[in-house]
Amino acid sequence: MVTPAELLEQKRPAVQSSGRSRAWRRFWSYPLSTAGIIGVLFLFAFSFLGPVFYHVDPLAQNITHMLQPPSATHPMGTDDLGRDVLSRLMVGGRSSLEVGFLSAFVAMAFGTLYGMISGLVGGWTDIILMRIVDVLLSIPSLFILLFLDVTFKPSVVLMIFVIASTSWLTVSRIVRGEVLKIKTETYVEAARLAGVGPWRLMLKYLVPNFIGTVLVTTTFSVADSILTIAGLSFLGLGLPPPAPNWGAELSESLNYIFQNSWWLIYPPGILILLSQLSVNFIGDGLRHALETRVD
C-alpha cells in the first residue's frame, strides 16, 4: 500500500518543475524584467569591470585640475580636489552594490530562518519571537541605523550587517505567515506522519512553497539597501572618506550646485536612480511571474 508521503514524493517534483518553467518563461516575457536585468548588469560591469580598463587612481589629487568639465583626459570631469570623477563613480559603485545585495541576502537568510522557526514551532515560542519583531518594528529604522553606525567604526562589512539588522524583520513576518498557512496543508501533515524531521520538512516541503514570495521581497530590499547606504553617506554617516561612494559623491557635489558643475551632481544621482529602477523592475518581474495564475 502506498503511503501519503510516498505518493507525495512521486508527484510533487514534476508539478514543481512545471511550475518553475512557466514562471521562468513569464519572467523573461515581461518587458520590465529584461530592462532590469540589463540595468543591473550594466551597473556591475561599470563598477567592477570598469576600473580594469580605466586605469585612473580615484584618490589621486591634482589641484591644478580642480573642477574641470568633461574632457578627453577626464571623461566625466574632476572634483574640487582634482580627482577623476569617472574613476570615483566606478569604485564608489562597488561599495554601494556590495552593501545593497549582500545586506539583502543576509536579511533574507536570517529572516527566513527566524520566521520558519516561529511559524513551525508555534505556541509560546511563536509568541515570544514575534513580540521581539514587533518591538523592533516599532522603533524607527533610521534611529537603529544611526545608533549602530555611530557606535561602531564604519566599514563595508559593518554597513552590510547594520542595514540587514533592520531589513530581516519584514522578511521574518512574511515567512512566518506563509509557514502558518502551508503547514496545515495535507502533504505537510502526510510528511509529518511519515516521520520527516523538522529540518527536512522545512527545506523540502516549506521553503519551495514560499521562496518565490521571499525572493520578491528580497529584491525590493536590495533597492532599499542601496538607497539606505546612499542616504547614510549623503548625511556623512556612511563609509569614511576618502573611500568614494555614490551617496557621498552626491552630497559633496551639492556644494557646487550654483557653480554650474553639473558633472558632479547628475552622474551619481543618475546611477542611484538607475540602480533603484533596475532592481525594482526585476522585483516587479518576479512578482508578475510568481503571482500570475494560469487556469
Average pLDDT, the chain: 80
Q: Report residue 1's pLDDT band, with 50, 70 and 90 as the boundaries.
A: very low
For the stretch 164-198, pLDDT in tens is 888 888 888 888 888 888 877 777 777 777 777 66
Say what the pLDDT of residue 41 is.
94
Whether residue 255 has pLDDT greater than 80: no
Q: Show me where the domains of the chain are located.
A: 4-56+93-291
For the stretch 258-292, pLDDT in tens is 777 788 888 888 998 899 899 889 888 888 777 64
Residue 47, burial from CB neighbour count under 10 angstroms (0-12, 13-18, 19+):
buried
Kindly report the pTM of this predicted structure. Answer: 0.80
Say what the pLDDT of residue 257 is.
74
Q: Report residue 60's pLDDT band, with 50, 70 and 90 as the boundaries.
A: confident
- Tell which CATH architecture fits domain 4-56+93-291: Orthogonal Bundle (1.10)
37-51, 81-95, 195-209: the lowest-pLDDT one = 195-209
